[in-house]
Structure 1
Amino acid sequence: MSTPTSTPSSATHGEVRQQPQAWRDLRRLLHDRGPALRAFLDPLLARPDLRIVLTGAGTSAFVGDIAAAALRRPLGRRLDSVPTTDLVADPRSAFADPAPVLLVSFARSGNSPESLAAVQLADELSPGVHHLVVTCHAQGRLALDRAGAERSFVLLLPEQTHDSGFAMTSSFTTMLLAVLCAFEPQHLDAVEQLATAATAVLDRAGDVEDLLDPLPHRTVFLGSGPLQGLAQEAALKVLELTAGRTAAFHDSPLGFRHGPKALVDDRTLVVVLGSADPYTARYDADILTELRGDATARVVHVDPPGLTGLPDGLRAAVLAVPVQLLALGASLRHGCTPDDPFPGGTVNRVVRGVRIHPLVHPLVEGGGGGR
């Protein structure tokens, strides 16, 4: 095992390594706030026509993708993951269904323009909408605006999860576990198992970084079900932390054959995020066999030990850790500063330059410039 190059001098390194403790802190927080959270959620979940919409931007949107795929079957109801970036751009489509809505907003800072606009548009287009805000920043505008607001509940996560680094790491996994445990409280019993498994991954960080020898110029992340959302987050982490110097892609194991596989060459690293579902895992095995038979790309199957009996939604939090270590190691090998990979400000920690346009209603669209 090599010595990790991701030195503790970066905030991002510390925020990756703090995740097991952050999850334990989350468990205590949810035990304390559980009765109030249940009082808010249970009457809503008693409504069979309730539509749950999970929303966020970038990494926060991928929390929704993973959680929606993980929760549909056990909750037996409709869950839609709609990024705030889609919701704000086409709000009438997002809220075309007249069913009552619970909007679950994920936000590290709670200050992105789309996050704020999404809740306002929901109030305007879905009368009676309820809001569950899952955020890491007590002083963010989203938390402050919704605290004490009618039909709203703000779930503020442990303070350390408000990552100061550029990329979302502990905020991502802790928001994911928070929403899974909010809707399925029995998952709190699995948090210690998850934390122990993640610690074991962190203790072998050098093994992860060995995958970067030689440094790939392309990375591909493949996952099915809830892990498809994680594959998308993994690709974003590599792009963010290497400032785009390593091209990164995502797909499902089945979808990858339908064209995207064309990008594979001998400088490509393909990471298959292993599913615990026995049926789904067959497709993981098939793509692993195929790619290894091609003898072109380097292929890795990520399936950390210590997660026996856990569903993929929960496992995604632990599988995210080696992905983060991989992105962090690639960042350093490219000579980037992980906490600030875009010193010129072309990409920012909290998005800038977004103009939120007023919603013009159909009756006044068109003539006279919509006035």
Structure 2
Amino acid sequence: MKTAVPETADRQQVPQGATHTHREIRQQPRLWAEMTTRLSEQRDWLDAFLGPVLAEPRLRIVLTGAGTSAYAGQVARSALARATGRTVEAVATTDITADPTSCFAERDRPTLLVSFARSGNSPESLAATQIADQLLDRCAHLVITCNADGSLATRHQNRADSYVLLTPPESEDQGFAMTSSLTCMLLAALRALGGTHIRGLDACPEAATSLLAGGTPDRVAELTDRAPERFVYLGSGALAALAGESALKLLELTGGAVTALSDSSLGFRHGPKAFLTQRTAVVVYISNDPYTRRYDLDIFHEMSAALPAGHVVAVAARPDGLPAEHTWLIEGMADAEDTALALPAVLCAQLVALNASLACGVRPDNPFPDGEVNRVVQGVTIHPLPQH
């Protein structure tokens, strides 16, 4: 049964140049409910395709995409490995294209290539599926895309070894950066391959709705109003991958005007900590796992002692061990796996990027008006793969 999720009321007039991005951030809870309904309606067909594939004991599942789509695979990897009991790896299409024989070294190993693609027209997205077919004896394809008319969808639509899973049409973001396209594709993969084995997915729409309707947007504005020159995003496990996507979103929407770095909570001390200045803001994603959480709390408190008050915030589903005044709390997700928590948590990063973009005088719908960086990547030459 479809869950009704209301659109969040706008807190202010939509700024000029942000029409698409503003809407696409706020439509996500509704689209997640629609994505869940879509999957329920095609569950029998999906299971008929995936059942024999997932039954292979030596199956290797490769989650692939470029840029934000690559981060979708990184966020999903560990949860899908636990849910399926199979080897799951996240390998970017850019790595598959540039170094194919290393990525597909075991020719006889059955493989499911899960391709994430907003438009399905990026050169590497198409090349990765072709390379897999060329180098592997048995490769099935699960194509998760927002564009039914994209090259990736149309090339795989009628293949017996492929299943094209479409997200709601509105999720094909018209703004420059991927927001609702990312989360709808991530949710589709978690639902399709993880089924009911991933805790917290059902709570995501309501959690995100509460986040957008509550005080978090104002608290995000308080952070960006401090005009930090640099941002650091930190997390562990799936939330470390979320940190990478968060930094990318900030770079994209500010047109590179605000520098951003991401790392794991433990890895940051090993050199990247040199990035810090007194004009740096730090966002730490706090794990729900009791053991992992300790490391996230350690780095949060260390950064809070090193930087001016208000420059370090935690994004968490549970308040224990955290100061309320510096915590963006995601309600209703205290029992969720970190991969599920990433869905509403990424909205915090999207709001930061949107606010920072506007503060820099950049139009987030098109932060590169001269075309230095493109919504669908251009300028890539796909070189023929030598015969092996």
TM-score range, shorter chain: over 0.9
Aligned-partner Cα distance in 2 for 1:216–1:114: 35
- Contact 2:116–2:145 under 8 Å retained in 1: yes
Task: Give the number of equivalent residue pairs.
Answer: 360
Deviates more, 1:7-16 or 1:258-267: 7-16
User: The residue matched to 1:104 in structure 2 has which SS?
Assistant: strand
1:189 Cα deviation after fit: 8.6
- Contact 2:177–2:252 under 8 Å retained in 1: yes
1:177 to 174, 187, 196: 187
Matched, 1:339 2:377: no
| Matching residue's letter, 2:253 | L
Matched, 1:154 2:164: yes
Aligned-partner Cα distance in 1 for 2:238–2:123: 27
- Look up the match of 2:342: 316
Aligned-partner Cα distance in 1 for 2:156–2:83: 28
- Look up the match of 1:195: 205
1:274 Cα deviation after fit: 1.2
Aligned-partner Cα distance in 1 for 2:19–2:212: 16
2:248 to 236, 243, 257: 236
Q: Residues 175 and 265 (structure 1 numbering): CA distance in 2 closer, same or farther, change over 3 Å? A: same
| Matching residue's letter, 1:40 | F
- Contact 1:108–1:137 under 8 Å retained in 2: yes
Q: Residues 189 and 261 (structure 1 numbering): CA distance in 2 closer, same or farther, change over 3 Å? A: closer
Aligned-partner Cα distance in 2 for 1:103–1:77: 13
Aligned-partner Cα distance in 2 for 1:234–1:5: 25
RMSD after superposition: 1.6
Q: Give CA-to-partner distance per residue, 1:251-306, whole Å, 9 cap, x none.
A: 00100000111111111000001111111000011111211222458211011121
The unaligned stretches of length 5 or more in structure 1 are 363-371
Aligned-partner Cα distance in 2 for 1:238–1:19: 19
TM-score for the superposition, normalised by structure 2: 0.90
1:213 Cα deviation after fit: 2.0
| Matching residue's letter, 2:123 | P
Q: Kindly, what percent of the aligned residue pairs are identical?
A: 51
The unaligned stretches of length 5 or more in structure 2 are 1-10, 317-329
1:71 Cα deviation after fit: 1.8
Matched, 1:22 2:31: yes
- Look up the match of 2:299: 287
- Look up the match of 1:256: 268
Matched, 1:31 2:40: yes
- Look up the match of 2:277: 265
- Contact 2:200–2:335 under 8 Å retained in 1: no
User: The residue matched to 1:186 in structure 2 has which SS?
Assistant: coil
- Look up the match of 1:121: 131
| Matching residue's letter, 2:101 | R
| Matching residue's letter, 1:72 | A
Aligned-partner Cα distance in 2 for 1:119–1:10: 34
| Matching residue's letter, 2:67 | G
1:4 Cα deviation after fit: 5.7
1:209 Cα deviation after fit: 1.4
1:69 Cα deviation after fit: 2.3
Q: Give CA-to-partner distance per residue, 1:41-60, whole Å, 9 cap, x none.
A: 11111111000001000000
Deviates more, 1:20-29 or 1:199-208: 199-208
| Matching residue's letter, 2:359 | R
- Look up the match of 1:326: 352
1:97 to 99, 103, 106: 106
Q: Residues 222 and 245 (structure 1 numbering): CA distance in 2 closer, same or farther, change over 3 Å? A: same
Aligned-partner Cα distance in 1 for 2:331–2:289: 15
Aligned-partner Cα distance in 2 for 1:5–1:259: 42
- Look up the match of 2:50: 41
User: The residue matched to 1:29 in structure 2 has which SS?
Assistant: helix
TM-score for the superposition, normalised by structure 1: 0.94
1:193 Cα deviation after fit: 1.6
1:308 Cα deviation after fit: 2.1
- Look up the match of 2:321: none
Matched, 1:112 2:125: no
Aligned-partner Cα distance in 1 for 2:342–2:104: 29
Aligned-partner Cα distance in 1 for 2:63–2:13: 36
- Look up the match of 2:92: 83
1:190 Cα deviation after fit: 4.7
Matched, 1:306 2:332: yes
| Matching residue's letter, 2:278 | D
- Contact 2:70–2:116 under 8 Å retained in 1: yes
1:74 Cα deviation after fit: 3.1
- Look up the match of 1:369: none
- Look up the match of 2:142: 132
Aligned-partner Cα distance in 1 for 2:364–2:169: 21
Q: Residues 115 and 80 (structure 1 numbering): CA distance in 2 closer, same or farther, change over 3 Å? A: same
Matched, 1:216 2:243: no
| Matching residue's letter, 1:329 | N
User: The residue matched to 2:196 in structure 1 has which SS?
Assistant: helix
Aligned-partner Cα distance in 2 for 1:259–1:315: 28
User: The residue matched to 1:26 in structure 2 has which SS?
Assistant: helix
Q: Give CA-to-partner distance per residue, 1:23-68, whole Å, 9 cap, x none.
A: 0000110000111111111111111100000100000000011111
Deviates more, 1:289-298 or 1:27-36: 289-298
